[in-house]
Structure 1
Amino acid sequence: MYQAVNAVLEKYDADMGAAEAHGIAVGMLCVELKTDAANWLHELFIEQNDVFDEDKTLLVDLFERSRELLEPETEEFGFDLLLPDEDDALSEQVEALRVWCQGFLFGVGYAHTNADWPGESAEVMRDLIELTKIDSDVDGEDDEAALIEVHEYVRAAILIVRDQFVEFKNTNMH
């Protein structure tokens, strides 16, 4: 999936790759699960009218699948970040994780312009900001183990942010 999404983004000269694009989608969805895929596509492509239907379908499917996996009722372990395969170079995996976090922060900012961060989400955001500064010049088993740990942390952190926003909305609707 990662390679396919990357290929579509490259084909239309998008300013980002698959990891960052997925991060944006997840950020937008964490804040507002009902957000429209069209808003996301608008962020990816300036001229989305030029995007072929089959390419648009692939992206919208990724967006909708992410929405399903972020539904609070969904089994928590289904959600994951769209990153390169474990077979890819470690530096490429780390760089993808870095830009995924960058995309996520952008997506959250796009959907949540209010300065108030509900619950623990402010702390998570600070951590993710720090992760956008990680060095992708890595190699070796220690770095590989660290990447797995950070990947798991980010995955769990995203679910915390989602839960905080769901709770925040429910509290403020009454």
Structure 2
Amino acid sequence: MGYQSISEILISLDADFEAAEAHGVAVGMLSIAIQADADNWLQLILSDYADIPAQYTEPLLDLFEKTRKVLANGLDEFGFDLLLPDDDEPLAEQSEALRAWCLGFLFGVGYLRSQVAWPGEVAEIMQDIVEITKLDTNIENGDDEDANALMELREYLRTAVLTVKDYFPETLPVQSH
């Protein structure tokens, strides 16, 4: 399922998160603990998860499990991608989704591991992601330079996620909230 399909589901359910941010939460959780629980994720992004018909939750759970599989298999950065609008969408929408994805990622990481001191490169990556959340998304008439900058940020985040995930063992205990 692509960005648009997930977005439509979340909008129809009046979810607390939009598609990019919800995916960021999932990736953040899975980067810290690959065995993170999909039900916890759904409870975070949907208010009344228990009352939602399977026709809506199954595609969301599928997204979570596919993301888990890609991250668990240790595929290179080209096997993993962020759930964002297509490149032909307005740059303002793409940049806002990228910013929201980063907010979601930080939320997902913090949901499972709230720590002041991060190991190695992870501290720098977390700070970089915090800075990306400050991205100016008011791009009315973006040009090729803006599009290239956005693409570079996306590529950086793909690599950064895999670096973060590599710092945490598969068996990290998951905190329940």
Which range, TM-score by smaller chain? over 0.9
SS in 1 for 2:87: coil
Opposite residue 16 of structure 2, the aligned amino acid is D
Opposite residue 149 of structure 1, the aligned amino acid is E
SS in 1 for 2:64: helix
Deviations, residues 88-140 of structure 1 (Å, cap 9, x unaligned): 11110010000000000000000112333122111100000000000012211
Structure 2 alignment gaps of length 5 or more? 173-177
- Report what 1:151 is aligned to: 154
Structure 1 alignment gaps of length 5 or more? 170-174
Identity of aligned residues (%): 49
Opposite residue 51 of structure 1, the aligned amino acid is I
The structure carrying a bigger helix percent of its residues is 1
**C-alpha distance in structure 2 between counterparts of 1:150 and 1:126, whole Å:** 14
Deviations, residues 61-82 of structure 1 (Å, cap 9, x unaligned): 0000000111153344210000
Quote the offset at 1:14 in angstroms: 1.0
Does the CA contact (< 8 Å) of 2:34 and 2:170 recur in 1?
Answer: no
SS in 2 for 1:77: coil
Opposite residue 153 of structure 2, the aligned amino acid is V
- Report what 1:172 is aligned to: none
Opposite residue 58 of structure 1, the aligned amino acid is P
> What TM-score does the superposition give when structure 2 sets the normalisation length?
0.91
Does the CA contact (< 8 Å) of 1:69 and 1:75 recur in 2?
Answer: no
Cα RMSD after superposing both structures:
1.5
Opposite residue 86 of structure 1, the aligned amino acid is D
- After the TM superposition, list the runs of 4 or more consecutive aligned residues in structure 1 that deviate by more than 4 angstroms: none
Does the CA contact (< 8 Å) of 1:26 and 1:104 recur in 2?
Answer: yes
- Report what 1:94 is aligned to: 95
Does the CA contact (< 8 Å) of 2:33 and 2:171 recur in 1?
Answer: no
Opposite residue 11 of structure 2, the aligned amino acid is E
How many residues are aligned here? Answer: 169
**C-alpha distance in structure 2 between counterparts of 1:116 and 1:97, whole Å:** 25
Deviations, residues 31-68 of structure 1 (Å, cap 9, x unaligned): 00001100100101121122110111100000000001
SS in 1 for 2:84: coil
Q: What pairs up with 1:119-134 in 2 under 5 angstroms? A: 119-134=120-135
- Report what 2:79 is aligned to: 78
Does the CA contact (< 8 Å) of 2:10 and 2:19 recur in 1?
Answer: yes
SS in 2 for 1:78: coil
Q: What pairs up with 1:105-120 in 2 under 5 angstroms? A: 105-120=106-121
Structure 1 range deviating more: 128-137 or 66-75: 66-75
SS in 2 for 1:121: helix
- Report what 2:137 is aligned to: 136
> What TM-score does the superposition give when structure 1 sets the normalisation length?
0.92
